[in-house]
Amino acid sequence: MRILTLILYFLIVTTSAQANESYADLVEELMPSVVNISTEKAVVSQDNADVDNLMLNPSLNGKESLGSGFFIRNDGHILTNFHVINGAKRISVTTNDGTVYDAKVKAIDNASDLAVLKIDGKTGHTKDFVPAKFGDADKARIGDIVLTFGNPYGLGISVSQGIISAKSRSIGLGEQQYIQTDAAINQGNSGGPMFDLNGEVIGVNSAIFTMQGANGVGFALPSNIATWVSNQLLTNGKVRRGWVGMNFANGVDQYTGENGFVVTDIEEDSNAYREGLRVGDIITAYNDRKADDLNTFIQFVEQLDIGQALRVKVLSGGMETRNVIRVQEMPQKALKEVTNKALIENAKSLHQDEDKDVFYISELNIAVKEADPRGLKIVKLERVSPLYGKGIKEGDVILEADREDIYSPDNLLDSIGNALSDDMRPISLLIQGLNDVFYVDIEVRLEND
């Protein structure tokens, strides 16, 4: 009985301690790093009802936008979201002690939606500003407690507590993946910091879901990306992203069955093309890393220094080669494509990590996966594909090839092989579209160069 009493006592004490736990000391320490941002500008309305990336106050009727930010240097440099200050005629920053400063835009990066501002201390104001310390978002775990700071609805600097609900979320804002949290993030929190309990920034509040009933779903740009971008903005005034001149999709090599990143498009003026890589090749490893996460690979390439070597292991026609690609700076055209990536593009099954059963048919320049109960669903259709312009769309299903039912990629490859050996005659495909089923004759080819 005495032992049971002691156990109950310790349980009560432990529960009471947890219930009385407070973040007040930590919050008091972090508050001086956070600022409110107010801008005079025309607010651009959004048509997207799912993702409210701007997190603006709709009651302001286009006169003003409210946001947040935090010091990244003690000389007055502030990091925030670009959309908070985009188009602003005047930017005002209010620090934790209530002092209001005029701010200037030092540098912006559209692709990551980040911007660096600068304020100068007033005459006689000699104390340094308090910069926040960046942490490592890669080490953060689902379930970790986080504190989000911001300026919700223009009420002033506020703090909310929650947990990391998920990581590596694609939400349609470029190629970046975000941290999801249930900590309260509201209109006006955009650009504010997300801290872990070590007092380090692990994310920048960037987006909220505003679908009816979608409460407690907010997103923050991971600190690793924010650190890399802000350092370049401070040093160079812009972000120089690495580029290898190729687009990719998750796929499977048709000869070996090995998973990797299928080259779906390649620029002829790229170093990758000069190294001999072509559409249909599959990268199975890079810089001693396994090619198993496409978004991680894309981010890895972007953050390589210009001229740095990207070592890749490539399967081409079932034969393995090793290539060294010197990274080039991403040209403006490619950067614009990265910046303007639409939500639907990120949602395509081809770009999801769990889709390891995607199969690339190089002879047709398409990526497919098995459909139920039969057929092959087209998850990627390249412009150079002989199917392109035939009324066939991504999401359509190939049901037959030359009047033979299709159940697997091997079935389709057999039909293609027969057509190629028979004087490269056209092949007839039965296609299940969204609203109809139709036949189409297409030409097949041996080369993709």
- Of 190, 223, 362, 385, the catalytic one is 190
Amino acid residing at 391? G
- Of 38, 52, 83, 351, the catalytic one is 83
Q: What's the full length of the chain, in residues?
A: 449
- Of 109, 113, 196, 396, the catalytic one is 113
45 is catalytic: no
83 is catalytic: yes
Q: Say how far apart CA 277 and CA 362 lie, in whole Å.
A: 13
190 is catalytic: yes
For 176-212, letters b (16+ CB in 10 Å) and e give bbbbbbbbbbbbbbbbbbbbbeeebbbbbbbbbbbee
Active-site positions read: 83, 113, 190
